C-alpha cells in the first residue's frame, strides 16, 4: 500500500498534530504514487479532522468512515473515529476502535492518548455498572493496570458499584450470604461510601448476625462518626431502643 503524506498541520479533537499519516502505520515502507482511491481517502481523512475540530461530529464520522474503508487498520483513522464516537456517546465502539488502533502494529502508543483512554475506560465502566452489566469490572482491571490512569478515587467508586450490584442481585435471589459478601467487597473497595456501610450493616442485622453487625458498624462509625443512620443501626445491633422511643407495656 502506498505511503500517504499530507505535509500539513492536522487538526484533531486531541490537539494539533504535525506531519503525515501513512497506511503503513508510519513506517514509510512504500513510496509508490498514491492511487486515486487513496488520494480520495486522504482527502476524506483531512476533512474528517477539520470537521471534528469544528465539532461537526456527524460529518466527521462520515469522512472518517470513508477513509476507514480504504485503510481499515490505520491507527490515525481509527483513533480519530474513536474520538468522534466518544463525542457522540458511543463509548463501547470507541473502546473497540482504540483497541484496533493499538493492535494495528502492536504499539501501545497508537490510538488514543493515554489520558483519553483512561477517561474512556472509566466512563464506560460507570455506564456498564449503571446499566447492570456484569463486565464493568473488566474495564476497571484494565484501568488499574495502566500507569497513566491516576483517578484512583473514581475507579474505586465504580468498582464499589460493581460489587454493590452483585450484592443486590444476590439479595433479590434470596442469597443473604452472597449479598453480605458483596456488600463487604463494596465497602472494602471504597470505605469512604457511607451508603455502602449502611447497606452492609442492615444486611447483617436482617440476617440475624448481630455480633458481626456490631463489629462492622463499629468500624464504620470510626470512619464516619457523625452519621446518624450508622448510630441508629448500632443501637439496633446492641438491642438498645432508639432515643425517644418509649418501651411498649
- Residue 249's SS3 state is coil
User: In this structure, what is the dihedral angle of CA atoms 89, 123, 79, 67, given to the nearest 10 degrees?
Assistant: -20
Task: Classify 78 in phi/psi space as left (phi over 0), alpha (psi -120 to 50) or beta.
Answer: alpha
Residue 33 has pLDDT above 60, yes or no: yes
Q: What is the pLDDT of residues 63-96, one digit of tens each?
A: 999 999 999 999 999 999 999 999 999 999 999 9
Determine what percent of the chain is predicted with pLDDT higher than 90. Answer: 76
Residue 37 has pLDDT above 90, yes or no: yes
Contact present, 80 and 52 (Cβ < 8 Å): yes
pTM over 0.85? The answer is no
pLDDT: is 216 or 8 the higher one? 216
What's the pLDDT band for 244 if we cut at 50, 70, 90?
low
- Reduced DSSP (H G I as helix, E B as strand, rest coil) percent helix, strand, coil of the chain, to 5: 65, 5, 35
Candidate from 26-30, 114-118, 149-153 with smallest mean pLDDT: 26-30
What's the pLDDT band for 5 if we cut at 50, 70, 90?
very low
The pLDDT of residue 242 is 63
How many C-beta atoms lie closer than 10 Å to residue 164's C-beta?
23
Contact present, 12 and 49 (Cβ < 8 Å): yes
Find residue 8's DSSP bridge partners. Answer: 19
Mean pLDDT computed over every residue of the chain: 86
- What is the distance between the alpha carbons of residues 224 and 238, in angstroms, rounded to a whole number? 18
What's the pLDDT band for 220 if we cut at 50, 70, 90?
very high
Contact present, 61 and 84 (Cβ < 8 Å): yes
Q: Which domains does the chain have, with CATH numbers?
A: 8-111 (1.25.40.10), 163-238 (1.25.40.10)
What's the pLDDT band for 18 if we cut at 50, 70, 90?
very low
The pLDDT of residue 134 is 81
What's the pLDDT band for 31 if we cut at 50, 70, 90?
low
Catalogue the E-assigned strands of the chain. Answer: 8-12, 15-19
**Average confidence (pLDDT) over 241-248:** 57
**Average confidence (pLDDT) over 146-166:** 94
What's the pLDDT band for 106 if we cut at 50, 70, 90?
low
**Average confidence (pLDDT) over 222-248:** 83
Residue 59 has pLDDT above 80, yes or no: yes
What's the pLDDT band for 234 if we cut at 50, 70, 90?
very high
Amino acid at each position: 500500500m502506498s505511503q500517504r503524506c499530507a505535509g500539513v498541520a492536522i487538526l484533531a479533537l486531541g490537539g494539533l498534530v504535525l506531519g503525515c499519516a501513512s497506511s503503513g502505520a508510519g513506517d514509510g515502507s512504500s513510496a509508490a504514487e498514491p492511487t486515486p482511491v487513496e488520494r480520495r481517502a486522504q482527502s476524506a481523512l483531512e476533512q474528517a479532522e477539520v470537521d471534528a475540530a469544528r465539532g461537526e461530529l456527524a460529518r466527521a464520522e462520515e469522512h472518517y468512515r470513508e477513509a476507514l474503508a480504504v485503510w481499515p487498520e490505520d491507527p490515525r483513522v481509527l483513533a480519530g473515529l474513536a474520538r468522534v464516537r466518544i463525542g457522540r456517546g458511543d463509548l463501547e465502539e470507541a473502546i473497540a476502535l482504540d483497541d484496533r488502533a493499538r493492535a494495528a502494529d502492536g504499539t501501545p502508543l497508537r490510538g488514543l492518548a493515554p489520558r483519553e483512554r483512561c477517561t474512556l475506560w472509566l466512563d464506560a465502566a460507570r455506564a456498564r455498572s449503571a446499566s447492570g452489566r456484569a463486565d464493568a469490572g473488566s474495564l476497571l482491571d484494565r484501568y488499574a493496570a495502566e500507569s497513566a490512569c491516576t483517578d484512583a478515587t473514581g475507579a474505586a467508586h465504580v468498582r464499589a458499584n460493581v460489587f454493590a450490584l452483585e450484592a443486590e442481585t444476590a439479595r433479590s435471589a434470596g442469597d443473604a450470604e452472597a449479598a453480605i459478601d458483596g456488600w463487604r467487597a463494596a465497602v472494602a473497595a471504597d470505605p469512604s461510601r457511607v451508603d455502602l456501610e449502611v447497606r452492609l450493616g442492615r444486611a447483617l442485622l436482617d440476617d440475624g448476625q448481630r455480633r458481626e453487625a456490631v463489629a462492622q458498624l463499629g468500624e464504620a462509625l470510626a470512619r464516619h462518626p457523625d452519621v446518624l443512620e450508622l448510630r441508629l443501626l448500632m443501637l439496633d445491633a446492641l438491642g438498645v431502643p432508639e432515643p425517644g422511643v418509649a418501651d411498649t407495656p
